[in-house]
Amino acid sequence: MSNSIEIRRFETPDDSLDMKERGGINIIKMADGTTGMRATFEPGWTWEEDEKPLLGSPDSCPMRHTGYCIAGKLVVRMVDTGAETTLTKGDFFEIPPGHDAYVDGADRVELILFGPPEHQH
C-alpha cells in the first residue's frame, strides 16, 4: 500500500456512461479499486429509459450507492415495495440494490457516488 496521496478528476474519467442529452456518469477508479462517480441527470431523465439499456436491461439497478446530492431532486423507488424517496441538494444517502429512479422537476440532478474496492482482501 502506497503512503502517497492520490488525486483524480472527473474531467479525465477512466470510464463513462453517455446518456446523450439526458446526462451521463463519469467514473474514476483509484489504485485500491475504490470508485467515484459523478452523475448528471437532466430534467426528464429516468433510469428505465436512459440507464437501464446501458446496463444490459436488468429489472432494477443492481448496485448499492453511497453518495451526496449536489443539486436537483431525484426520486428513487424500491422496485419490490414501490416505496419512493426523494433526494435533494445536501442529502448524503445510501441506496440498496433493487431500485430505479427519475428526475423530479425542471432542475438538473448532480450526484457524487462512492463505491468500495470490488475485491476486498
Q: Answer yes or no: is pLDDT of 1 > 80.
A: no
Sign of CA dihedral 38, 43, 46, 50: negative
Average pLDDT of the segment spanning 96-103: 96
| Nearby residues of 83 by Cβ (< 8 Å), 6 or more positions away | 77
The pLDDT value recorded for residue 2 is 64
The domains of the chain are located at 15-112
Count CB-CB contacts under 10 A for residue 94.
8
Q: What does the DSSP assignment read for 15-38?
A: EEEE-GGGEEEEEEE-TTS-EEEE
The answer, yes or no, to whether residue 118 has pLDDT greater than 90, is: no
Distance CA 19, CA 49 (A): 10
- In tens, the pLDDT along 29-88 reads 999 999 999 999 999 999 999 998 988 889 999 989 999 999 999 999 999 999 999 999
Q: Are 98 and 80 in contact (CB under 8 A)?
A: yes
* In the block, residue with C-alpha cell 459523478: 38
Give the pTM.
0.88
- Does CATH number 2.60.120.10 belong to domain 15-112? yes
Cell of 68: 451526496
